[in-house]
Structure 1
Amino acid sequence: MVTTASPFLWLGNHRALDFLNTEQLQRGARVDLLPDLRSLVAWCEEAGFLDGATAGCVLERWEGSPEAESAIEEARQLRSALRALIDERPRAQKAAAESAIGVINRALRLDAGYTEVVRARAGFTRRVHVQIDAPDQLLRPVAEAAASLLCDVDPELVKRCGNPDCVLYFHDVSRNHARRWCSMELCGNRMKVAAHYLRNRNG
């Protein structure tokens, strides 16, 4: 199901931020890259949360259904809740923060399979067995990634791109934590060219 012409960006250095980045600005307008179940399934597969066989079964069973529409609405709520918690920390009003946390916890309560420990070449590893009995269960691993981001990642290293016209986020794991752009290709070079132009014009 994964194609080489993927619309998704994988530059956040964290799956929760990659999920946030499914809403982008293109030519000044916000674009939702998760408009339907097929796009959500494709994102989950590319993120490594879903194997191809399970992805196909989910689409065959629920594509175009009311359950699929509900799952997409829940995905948008989860994305909005995570964005609110990141953007507003630490100044978020308590009621708003509790509401956003509630959205994440609701997704965490979804039963979407189980994890077991298995032997690996270098010791042990986790193996996740995904069982999807309803399309909203696709959001369980996304919510787990969100919980990991909020609980385990230094909030000072969760950044929004320095381009004011960009809404993409990333976890800054650079050596000196000096990363400013979502990527050099998308915004970094563009902003440097603009700054160079202004310096020359004003010089």
Structure 2
Amino acid sequence: MINENLYSLTIGDHIALDMLNTVSYLDGRIVDYWRSSQNVIRWLVNIAGIDIAPTRSFSDQELFNDAIELREVIRTLVEQRKAGCNLDFTKLSLFLSGASSYLAITKSSNNFMLQRRYRSDSTIEVLSPLAEAAADLLINLDVNLLKRCCGLNCILWFYDRSKSHRRRWCSMDVCGNRHKVSRYRGHI
């Protein structure tokens, strides 16, 4: 049984990396926490903060398929960027080109704020904020701070915002502790 709370890991320190981390290595096997459209919708709403209109012109299955495709496009680009390869943004650009957003003025207490809102008439529009986040990660952020966990068999990604930029683990409580225990027992 897969722990439902694990699909919501937010250790990446960037929403595009948190999206990649919906696939992890657990108990000796690769686990995809997006096993259904409902998993994807819960993640989009609760973790990514994307408002999905209850009345929409696409099916949950279409959203599931496109979310999986976008996640794998981002994964490929992140791995290529980290390896110093040339990047082909064609597929990501399809998700970016479908964005339809506008600025809304909202009121919180006595303050007015501008908030970007996205239309959700298509799956591409729903997923476009994630595509924008991925584009920002790939283009604007320091590739040296984009890291994969050093834990044995761990496949999780994070953006190292630590002061010394020496973060090695997705989580000190999990992979970092496993490393300490292995070293103490003389396994490494």
| TM-score, normalized by the shorter chain, greater than 0.5 | yes
Deviation at 1:159, TM superposition (A): 0.2
1:51-73 alpha-carbon deviations (Å, 9 max, x no partner): 4xx45x16xx57xx7x4333322
Structure 1: runs of 5 or more not aligned: none
Residue 36 to residue 136, structure 1, CA distance change in 2 (3 Å): farther
Q: 1:9 corresponds to which residue?
A: 9
| 1:76 aligns to 2:68 (yes or no) | yes
Q: 2:161 aligns with which of 168, 173, 185?
A: 173
Percent identity over the alignment is 32
Deviation at 1:117, TM superposition (A): 5.8
Q: 1:161 corresponds to which residue?
A: 149
Q: How many residues align?
A: 184
What does residue range 83-94 of structure 1 map to in structure 2 within 5 Å? 83-89=75-81, 90-92=83-85, 94=86
Deviation at 1:145, TM superposition (A): 0.7
Q: 1:134 corresponds to which residue?
A: 122
For residue 78 of structure 2, give the secondary structure of its aligned residue in structure 1.
helix
Q: CA RMSD in A?
A: 2.8
Structure 2: runs of 5 or more not aligned: none
| 1:149 aligns to 2:141 (yes or no) | no
Q: 1:194 corresponds to which residue?
A: 182
> Which structure is higher in helix share?
1
Distance 1:10 1:85 in 2: 20
Distance 2:137 2:32 in 1: 22
Q: Assess if the C-alpha contact under 8 Å between 1:160 and 1:170 holds in 2.
A: yes
For residue 50 of structure 1, give the secondary structure of its aligned residue in structure 2.
coil
Residue 171 to residue 112, structure 1, CA distance change in 2 (3 Å): same
Distance 1:85 1:130 in 2: 24
Deviation at 1:91, TM superposition (A): 3.9
Deviation at 1:41, TM superposition (A): 1.4
Query: Residue type matched to 2:138 in 1?
Result: L
Q: 1:21 corresponds to which residue?
A: 21
